[in-house]
Amino acid sequence: MRLKIVAGNWKMNMLKEGGENLASEIVKLVSEHKLDNSIKLILSPPAIHLANLSSILDGQTQVSLAAQNVHQELKGAFTGEISASILASFGLEYVIIGHSERRQYFSESDQLLAQKVKAALEQNLQVIFCCGEGLEVRQAGNHLAYVSKQLTNGLFDLPKESFEKITIAYEPIWAIGTGETASPEQAQEMHAHLRKHIAAKYGNDIAENTSILYGGSCKPSNAKELFACADVDGGLIGGASLKAKDFIAIAQSF
């Protein structure tokens, strides 16, 4: 059975104390609300918070950490970058790769993302691979083909065993940080399409076990109807992950 996941992408937010308080509050609420064991929570803070937050999360099995990015090389003269081997040496479990903001503002191509995925998997990190179309692509009716091509280009060179370490996050760019959410029908259509696309390449078992998250203005008021869709296995949450109560309310929406 595939994992239900609610991951919080803090982006470039949270000063030291705010980040510590947010993580501590989430830990407290998780134990108070006794979240179902089938649900995994992931926090993805700015990288400098990771070591500190791993102490705050020590002993927690339900809450993990993810980096927001990783370099494609394992070491060397790449000032300002962090490699998968460094992340793994700090005990990190997950990394987000291919967020639309990285694709847009840092010109990360599908080919570069494929290299990053490979580097992360070689270090035994689990990958949350983001994909999603812009508004013009959707308006032109090309969204299904566009997003499945992002998966093909970024992931489909992987051997079957490696694909088991991949979680997909479908994030339509027109819904990220805009307050506009994909309707449950739009999310379900894309998620079912991506699952079929994965099945065609890796077989039904792998496809059925791959968690596909929805991201884009997901909040407590709309999470329930999105998570009720058969192929939506949780969410990648931006803005609403910065408030512990909202984040936990979203995790309670399955």
Binding of residue 177 to ligand PEP (CB under 6 A): yes
- Is 99 assigned a catalytic role? yes
The active-site residue out of 49, 171, 191, 197 is 171
Please name the residue ranges forming H helices in the chain.
Answer: 16-33, 50-56, 84-89, 100-105, 110-122, 135-139, 143-155, 160-163, 184-202, 204-209, 220-227, 244-251
Binding of residue 253 to ligand PEP (CB under 6 A): no
Binding of residue 239 to ligand PEP (CB under 6 A): yes
Structure tokens at 120: 């992360």
Residue whose pair of structure tokens reads 């308006």 in the numeric block: 139
Q: 197 to 226, contacts with ligand PEP by CB under 6 A?
A: 215-218
- For the bound state, the minimum distance from the C-beta of residue 69 to ligand PEP, rounded and expressed in Å, comes to 13
Structure tokens at 123: 């270090």
Cα separation of 236 and 128, whole Å? 9
Cα separation of 68 and 28, whole Å? 24
Cα separation of 83 and 164, whole Å? 21
Structure tokens at 247: 């984040």
CB-wise, 190 or 207, nearer to ligand PEP? 190
The three-point CA angle 99-153-40 to 5° equals: 45
Position of minimal CB gap to ligand PEP: 238
SS3 150: helix
- For the bound state, the minimum distance from the C-beta of residue 244 to ligand PEP, rounded and expressed in Å, comes to 15
CB-wise, 184 or 206, nearer to ligand PEP? 184
Binding of residue 42 to ligand PEP (CB under 6 A): no
- For the bound state, the minimum distance from the C-beta of residue 130 to ligand PEP, rounded and expressed in Å, comes to 7
Binding of residue 69 to ligand PEP (CB under 6 A): no
Count CB-CB contacts under 10 A for residue 183.
12
CB-wise, 50 or 131, nearer to ligand PEP? 131
Q: 135 to 154, contacts with ligand PEP by CB under 6 A?
A: none
- For the bound state, the minimum distance from the C-beta of residue 86 to ligand PEP, rounded and expressed in Å, comes to 23
Binding of residue 9 to ligand PEP (CB under 6 A): yes
Which residues contact residue 237 at a Cβ distance below 8 angstroms, ignoring those fewer than 6 apart?
6, 7, 8, 9, 215, 218, 219, 247, 250
Binding of residue 121 to ligand PEP (CB under 6 A): no
- For the bound state, the minimum distance from the C-beta of residue 249 to ligand PEP, rounded and expressed in Å, comes to 14
Catalytic residues: 99, 171
Q: For binding to ligand PEP (CB under 6 A), which residues are involved?
A: 9, 171, 176-177, 215-218, 236-240
